[in-house]
Structures are given as structure tokens and as C-alpha cells.
Amino acid sequence: MKIIIIGCGKVGSTLAEDLCNEDHELVVIDKDPQKIQQLSESIDVMGLCGNGSSIQILSEAGVKDADILIAVTGSDELNLLCCLIAKKVSDCHTIARVRNPVYNKEIHFIKKRLGISMIINPELAAAMEISKLLRFPSAIKLDTFSKGRVELLKFKLLPEFRLGGMTVAAIMDKLRCDVLICGVERGEDVFIPDGTFVLQDLDLVSIVATPKNSSLFFKKIGVHTHQVKNALIVGGGTLGYYLAALLSDMKIKVSLIEIKRERCEELSELLPPLTIICGDGTDKKLLMEEGLTQAEAFVTLTNMDEENILLSLFAKKSRVQN
């Protein structure tokens, strides 16, 4: 397929690399010539320097012959405009990255009226993944289907479960739970087990069940399934907002630390039930004062990966000491 990517930031560059590995014909557009050059030198793409909302630039990129146009610049409005113009001059599918919570409430209207094929929101997707883990802390991965009526959960088979060495049929007979063991990962190997398949300790096991049956299954093997009751979040950016809103809807008590006073005031208006603390989330004294050792979940969402890692390590160490 011929694919045009507008925006060569982290998302655009990663996307281009993945699509290039699948042998698609790629054209990338960005205002920064240095980003274009770096990407063109690392993978096989055609680079154009310019504004992705310009009809002239889109024509040079071959938008009339393109199958998909993906707009992932740092501006939601520019992404939407690029997709709108592309739809006016071609029949290609369009995908826009839209992160602003204001637009998120109007996604269906925007897609329908502007004719956009898909709208992606990486921050919301990340927040939803984190909230799932906090709802079911023992699961390594949790996906829901059919509007939440069915769950796919992945967990590690620990020795204390006492299921290692048993066949799938024997486990089902012993536990008498209506769940389906649909996949087993063992090292680099993946198995689709039948009733005679023997599980081993430390296998990654995937099951499909209703929420009620999955909770019963984990209860019987001795796994803690209750969602956390309170959470401390560091970072009040877009991701922090989405996560705090999701956790609040799940009736989880949330405290959020944000360093910018203006942003704190915004969050207080947007999320009244939350406790918003204006301060430096990297301040150890502040974290301890705000109940780090009592928090069941600690989530760091600053813009610096190093800060997030070090804060997580500090929180884990503090919990062990207490």
C-alpha cells in the first residue's frame, strides 16, 4: 500500500519504521528538514519538507494515489485539517491523532462529519491499559470484548497456585470454573492447549471468561483480584488527566500531584472529586506526606522517562521498608 505519514516525531518515526518493515510504499512529511533527513537515512522512505495541510505538498506526496494518510503531528487541529483536505482531493482512508480531552468527547461527531476513517488517542489508550491493571492487579494483561461481557486475561502460573504438572482437563475438573484456557506461553514457544496439555510453573497462561467467572477462577487458585482502593499519581498532563478520570469513575480514591499551579486549577475544575496537590512530584518528603506508603497504587506520568523509573523504584523501596 502507499501510505503518507504527516509528522515525524516519536509516533510518526516509529510508525514509519514498522510500516517500512512490512514493505509498504511510504512518504513522510514534516516541517523540520533535520527530522526528514534522519528518517530517510535510517529507513527506505520518501521525505518531503513542508506543511502537511498544504494541497501542493500533499499533491507532491501523491495523495491522489495513496491508500492511507496518517496525521500524527503534535497539533490535534493540524491533524484534523490534514485529513479533511486529503479527503477532499482523494479517496484515501485517513487517520488522525487527537489527544485533547475536549475533542475526545466529540469523537463520533468529528469522524462522521469530517469523514475520518479512524481517530487514535495514544494517551487515552495508555490510561485505559493502566486502569485495567489497577482494576485487576494480578493480571499481566487484560482485554475486554463484547462491551465488557467477556474478558481475556493473561497471568503467570506461580508455584504457590499448585497447578504446575496438571493437565488442563484436571485443572478444570478440580476448580469447576467456567473458563477457557486458550493460550500458554512457555519461553519462546506458544501453545494452543487441549485437555491433555500439561501446564508448568511460570507459564504465561491466557484465559477467556466472563468477569464473574474469571474472578471466581482466580479466587479459587488464591490470587488477589480486588481492584486497588486508592492511587497516587504524579503528573497532571493529558495522560494523567485521562487516568485520573477513569480511576475516579471506578470509585478509586485518587490523589494527583502536579507542579504547575495553573494546571492544578484546571484539573480541580475538570475533576472535582480528586485531591489535587500542587508540588514537585520528585520531592521525596512531599510524596511521604501525601501517603506514598499507604497508597495501593503509585503511577508516575511525568514527561521524563528517567524520572518515572527512579520514582517507581523509590516508591517500591519505601513500601518494602514500611
Residue 71 forms part of a structural domain:
yes
The Cα–Cα gap between 103 and 271 comes to: 17
**Cα–Cα distance, 35 to 49 (Å, whole number):** 9
Last residue within a domain, chosen from 88, 120, 152: 120
Instruction: Examine the domain organization and report whether 9 and 52 are in the same domain.
Output: yes
Q: What are the distances in angstroms from CA 107 to CA 27, 110, 133, 302?
A: 27, 5, 25, 26
Please name which of 208, 207, 211, 206 lies closest in space to residue 149, comparing C-alpha atoms. Answer: 211
- 202 and 240 belong to one structural domain: no
Q: Can you give the CATH number for the domain in which 207 is found?
A: 3.30.70.1450
* Rounded CA separation 2/54 (Å): 19
Return d(Cα 237, Cα 67) in angstroms, integer.
34
Are both 95 and 156 inside the same structural domain?
no
pLDDT at 264 (0 to 100): 94
Q: Structural domain tally of the chain?
A: 3
Q: Which of 196, 220, 244 is the last residue of a domain?
A: 220
Cell of 160: 504457590
Shared domain for 86 and 43, answered yes or no, is yes
- pLDDT tens digits, 7-43: 999 899 999 999 998 989 999 999 999 999 999 888 9
The parent domain of residue 165 ranges over 138-220
125 lies in some domain: no
- Does residue 116 share a domain with residue 80? yes
Same domain, 314 and 242: yes
290 within domain boundaries: yes
Instruction: Please give the pLDDT value at position 321.
Output: 58
The Cα–Cα gap between 312 and 29 comes to 37
Extract the residue ranges of the chain whose pLDDT is less than 50.
Answer: none
Task: Reduce the DSSP state of residue 3 to 3 states and report it.
Answer: strand
Q: In this structure, is residue 126 part of a structural domain?
A: no
Q: What is the mean pLDDT of the chain?
A: 89
Res 286: pLDDT:
92
Tell which phi-psi region holds residue 12, choosing left (phi > 0), alpha (psi between -120 and 50) or beta.
Answer: alpha
Number of neighbours of residue 320 by Cβ within 10 angstroms? 7
* C-alpha cell read off for 31: 516541517
Q: 179 with 266, same domain? A: no
One domain, residues 106 and 158: no
Same domain? 311 vs 256: yes
- Please check whether residues 241 and 216 belong to one and the same domain: no
pLDDT in tens, 272-283: 888 999 999 989
Q: Quote the pLDDT of residue 225.
A: 65
Q: Are residues 212 and 234 in the same domain?
A: no
Q: Are both 180 and 236 inside the same structural domain?
A: no
Here the CATH number for the domain that contains residue 74 is 3.40.50.720
Tell me, what's the pLDDT at 166?
93
Distance, in Å, from the CA atom of 244 to the CA atom of 232, rounded to the nearest integer, reads 9
Give, rounded to a whole angstrom, the gap between the first and last alpha carbons of the chain. Answer: 56
Q: Specify whether the CB–CB gap between 233 and 253 falls below 8 A.
A: no
Which pLDDT does position 322 carry in this prediction? 54
Report residue 117 as a C-alpha cell: 476513517
Strands 275-278 and 297-300 turn out to be unpaired
Count the residues in the chain.
322
Domain boundary at 89, 120, 151, which? 120
Residue 127 lies in a domain: no
124 HSE (CA, 13 A, CB side)? 13
